[in-house]
Each structure stands twice: as structure tokens, then as C-alpha cells.
Amino acid sequence: MNMHSNFEDTHKQKLTIIGAPIEEGAGRLGALMGPAALRTAGLVRTLEEFGHPVEDRGDLQLPPVLPVVPAVDGLAHHIERIAAWSRMLSSETYDAMTKGTFPITLGGDHSLSMGSVSGVARYCEEHGRELFVLWLDAHSDFNTPATSPSGNMHGMSAALLCGEPGLEGVFGKEPRGFVKPENLHLFGIRSIDATERVLLRERGIDVVDMRRIDEFGVAKLMRRIIERVQKANGILHVSFDVDFIDPSLAPGVGTTVPGGATFREAHLVMELLHDSGVVGSLDVVELNPFLDERGRSALLLVDLVASLFGRQIFDKPNLADQSAGALSI
């Protein structure tokens, strides 16, 4: 499988779409309509335009019998349902990776990443590849049941993936993978709970907040992350929350925080990721069409995914041309 080397070399890479209409992890209803909205906005057609065969597995559905999860110390709403989603999604992304395809999980709230990333992490562990995670989000999602002020489990996803205590029952004895805390990169953050702040510092999580983006710029900070992945010959999972973008551009999300990424900053992130060739899997989460304005957020997300898979404004000049002064202005 060569899908993690360079997108130009893998133009026909097969993509697997997995719908996860999950809203139990969020505080507001409506995210379960996200996968349908992304399909309606033309996501599959757009991906196929770039030459990738697309297998759309449709939307997963909860099984009639939910797993039994021991009581937790603290708040974790709907943990049995989240556990069922997580176990299914982990199996689906693991299967997609094993078959040599690129899994794209459509949400649904951010609790789905507990499952999607766990499956990717399990694959990486079995194949000796270092997994890195780029968490594009307004929030750090590093709460646990003992620290969460709300009990909404979409705010616990990153903590579970890094093995924080209190969430073991989500997977129980089912197979899963973990993310090393030092390999988690939180990017675009602008809302962190006090207890999360303590945990993030103790675990050494890389937090790139909007202040750092304002000061140093997207390109410099993204290249630092990409170079880490490339140096380790690793695989990068991108977990893209709609609220990474400023709500004036993407209002269709239940957890808006002002001051998010601009249109060009968001596209530049995706363009740099495409150029890097290190991305091996993707989540698109927290789209809530009930809160959107005439599909603006869904259409923007499809446009951003297109940038991740190679859409360019104009052909990128090569470095030799630039150094020789051949760049036309």
C-alpha cells in the first residue's frame, strides 16, 4: 500500500466514505444530518472528479443491543450509545485501512473520532507506522468524565484516544488503538476548560491556539507538524471540526466560537496537507444542517476537502523555477 507517500503518485487511490450520523455526544440535536448534507453538497462527486474511485458505505446504524458499560466516575452522557458507535467505527476504519483505502468518516459530532481514529491507530500499530493526529478545532476536547462540566462526550474524544483514565468502558475488551500524547497536535484552539488546560500541560500536548496562528501564520506552524510526520515516516490523521472555521463563514455548528480560521487560512491548511502527502485518513465532524444557512457550511466543507485532495487555484510552480527567478507575477 503506497497511499501515504505522495498524492501525485497515488492519483487513483480508493477512498472509503463512512457515514456516522451520531449526535448523542453533543449538547444540541441536528448533527446526525451532517453526512446527508455533505453528500447533498456534492462531496462524493467532487472526490470522483479528482480520479479517485469512491466507495460510499452509507451511514452506519446503531445495533439493537447496546454494549454494557460500567458506571463512570463523573459525567458521560449516553456512554452506551457512544461505545456502540465507537466500536463500529473503529472496525470500519481499520477494515478500510487494511484493504488499502483512505477512510473518510462523515459526522456527526466529534465523539465519532473515538472510533474512527482508534481503528486507524490499531492499523498503524500493527504495521509499524507512527500515527500523528491533527485536530482542527476550536476546542481541545481533552475532558474526561471526572473533569467535564457538561458530560457531553464530544468534548472527551482526544482524551480517550490518548488513554486518559475514566473512559476504558467505551471499548471494553474490544480491539482498539491509541495515540501518543506527543503525537497529538491541536490546531486553531480558542476555547479550553480550566481542567483541560492542566491535563494538556501535564501530558505535553502540542496546542496551537489562534494567538500563535495570528503571530506566526498558518504555513510556518503547519510545516512544523508536517515535517515531524515526514521525519518519522508516519501517517497523519486529520480530524476536521466545522468550528475550526470562523462562524461567520460556517454557521452550521452547535459550538460556535468567534475568531476562527479565515477562508484562506482553512484552505491553506488543506493545500499544505495535500502537498505533504502524509495524510492517510480524515474525519469531517460537527456539521449541523439545522443551524446552517442555505447549505453554506456544507458547501464550504466540500470545497475544503477538495483542496485536501488536490484542487488548486493555479498550477503550483516548482522550486527550481522559483529559485531561477522564472516565477511570473
Q: So which residues are the catalytic ones?
A: 110, 137, 139, 141, 154, 241, 243, 286
Burial environment of residue 42 by CB neighbours within 10 A (0 to 12, 13 to 18, 19 or more): middle
Closest CA to 171 of 117, 128, 125, 134: 117
User: What type of residue is 257?
Assistant: V
Q: Roughly how many angstroms between the first and final C-alpha of the chain, as a whole number?
A: 40
Indicate the SS3 state at residue 235.
strand
- Alpha-carbon span 176 to 70, nearest angstrom: 18
- In angstroms, the Cα distances linking 101 to 22, 55, 157 are 23, 9, 24
Q: Are 76 and 152 in contact (CB under 8 A)?
A: no
- Alpha-carbon span 215 to 271, nearest angstrom: 20
Closest CA to 31 of 90, 112, 89: 112
Phi-psi label, residue 172: left if phi above 0, alpha if psi -120 to 50, beta otherwise: left
